[in-house]
Amino acid sequence: MCGITAYIGPRNAYPIVINGLKRLEYRGYDSAGIMLFDGQGLQLSKTKGKVSDLEEITNNDEKRKNGNIGIGHTRWATHGVPNDTNSHPHVSNSGELVIVHNGIIENYDTIKKELIKRGYTFKSDTDTEVLVNLIQEVKKNEGCKLGKAVQLALNSVIGAYAIAVFDKAKPDELIVARLGSPIAIGIGENNSEFFIASDASPFVEYTKNAVYLEDEELAIIKLGREVRVRRIHNDELIKASVQKLQLSLEEIEKGGYDHFMLKEIHEQPKAITDTFRGRLLVEQNFIKLLGIDSYREKFLNANRVIIVACGTSWHAGLVGEYLLEDMARIPVEVEYASEFRYRNPVITENDVIIAISQSGETADTLAAIKLAKERGAFVYGICNVVGSSIARETHTGTYTHAGPEIGVASTKAFTTQITVLTLMALKLGREKGTIPEKEFVKYLNAMDRIPQQVEKLLEIDEHVKYIASVYKDATNCLYLGRGFNFPVALEGALKLKEISYIHAEGYPAAEMKHGPIALIDENMPTFVIATKHGHYEKVVSNIQEIKSRSGKIIAIVTEGDITVKEIADHCIEIPETEEALTPLLTTIPLQLLSYHIAVMLGKNVDQPRNLAKSVTVE
């Protein structure tokens, strides 16, 4: 949570930092701030609200936009409500040190009390203001340089952080450090300028060379010199490894769409194709997944698979459970990472843990991985963000290659996660001999058709928009599905809740009569996934039960369906495919539906209230 960015070099820092913050707003957007240094004094501007609100303050004031050094922050509040004072950057009591911070300092209260005894005063309620004053105190007491003072201060804090610190007395230098929250350093030609950010998106147009800090690392960034990286706890000097960025500017812009979410929904045919690339080899009748190939025995001898994830990724994990059990006959458990990490789970060396995460930075998922590794399990990651903490922490894994997902509501990340899980289940099923050869070939061909089918499905946008206009004023909605589509019902409900703030619940269709049916009346729309497969007749009966209680039915059906069409109020058709692959299609109309309802209700689709794209705190 929270985005941090900074610049030091010959250019005016203001536009770089402000544009960088806009790209990082997916990480938090309840307040924003910027500090510029023009060689004379600090210019601090901060406000509750979005980066656009910050721009309003600075726009007509040239003084606030001057300087070749700038640090900025976009916040998702943890300690202290979102207001101007609690916004970052924070300045130390001496007025010399400035900090931006992403994370939580858990023992801030104890440190604060100690600093107050020593005469420090605090303006804000934040843990960050405590940290910057602690650094000041250490610097004063030890008489050391800023880098050393930051390192010593961090050794006495408990918590998670990505920080950037500036000292007025050393205007050619910035100190950054990370533990649990990401930091990327963009490096200009001959070290003539540096860019710092929570991810590389703020500086992609300026440099392709970046250093990603690892946990427990601190970097001293000084103009004209190579970045120096040290391990925080033992002062070990580390060789900074410079990576070439693959990210392009087009990928992180809206490309003509009104919202990132809509763009990302429409990107799914390409995203799924990219997930397949080099892996789904239809001609060779083969699925190539290096992560599995290199650890084949681990998978083949696994007693069980435990999938850990949060939110939408957890829903993808549920689809994975159905796929892996059905195709590869491996017992699977799907766990909320937040529960798993604290409930003293039984984990053995014969367990395979699959951690799923779009961002690769989710704190609970990361902690679940660490726990599983400590207990000897083998951990496989399914991540979107290349080089993210989870990607690095796992033994091996598969990238989804969905491209940057910026809309807070996850869309293409979900379908590409399911794509990877399907490839894994098919591959393991074949290696274990639990899928007959003929079936395998059938699946491969059906998978190959999915991107075109998604493309075709996206053409129903106007029809879905119409349905959205009919139900946009509902206050409660039910989502039902069975089998592979039960998790899709959960995901459909989550999508609606998070961007339109309409209460929605997902249920396995047959569970309806054990409770939720009491909610049904003429005001309650139920979205039912009723494709023509295994449980079709049973779902049709559920639909009838709802209709006979005056409920409204919006059904997702297979092309050419007649039965449901006669009963439902509205139908949305999806192309024919194998039952196990239907989640890749049934998800699409539910995403569009949530999107249109949220737009019609005037909600901020890409930045829904109280949420952030990457949840790096507990």
β-pair partners for 173:
222
Taking the least distance from each CB to ligand F6R, the nearer of 26 and 161 is 26
Token pair recorded at residue 61? 């004031």
Q: How many helices (H) and strands (E) does the chain have?
A: 20, 27
Closest distance to ligand F6R from the beta carbon of 616 (Å): 9
Closest distance to ligand F6R from the beta carbon of 460 (Å): 22
Closest distance to ligand F6R from the beta carbon of 496 (Å): 11
Residue 349, SS3 per DSSP: coil
Taking the least distance from each CB to ligand F6R, the nearer of 355 and 580 is 355
Distance between CA atoms of residues 378 and 356, nearest Å: 14
Choosing from 222, 427, 495, 613, the catalytic residue is 613
Strand 286-287 with 280-281, pairing: antiparallel
Q: Is 613 designated active site?
A: yes
Token pair recorded at residue 111? 């440190």
Q: Is 438 designated active site?
A: no
Residue of closest CB approach to ligand F6R: 311
Best CA proximity match to 345, nearest among 324, 363, 311, 370? 370
Closest distance to ligand F6R from the beta carbon of 520 (Å): 27
Taking the least distance from each CB to ligand F6R, the nearer of 261 and 572 is 261
Closest distance to ligand F6R from the beta carbon of 374 (Å): 20
Angle, CA 32 vertex, CA 27 and CA 33 arms, to 5°: 130
Choosing from 2, 310, 383, 477, the catalytic residue is 2
Taking the least distance from each CB to ligand F6R, the nearer of 5 and 338 is 338
Phi, psi (deg, nearest 5) at residue 526: -120, 125
For 154-195, give the DSSP string: HHT--EEEEEEEEETT-TTEEEEEEEBS--EEEE-GGGS-EE
Taking the least distance from each CB to ligand F6R, the nearer of 33 and 608 is 608
C-alpha 502, offset from chain centre: 22
Taking the least distance from each CB to ligand F6R, the nearer of 182 and 429 is 182
Best CA proximity match to 528, nearest among 548, 513, 507? 507
Closest distance to ligand F6R from the beta carbon of 364 (Å): 8
Q: Which residues bind ligand F6R (CB under 6 A)?
A: 310-313, 357-359, 362, 365, 409-410, 494, 498, 614-615
Extended beta strands in 76-216, E state: 90-91, 97-105, 159-167, 173-179, 184-187, 194-197, 209-212
Mind telling me the catalytic residues?
2, 613
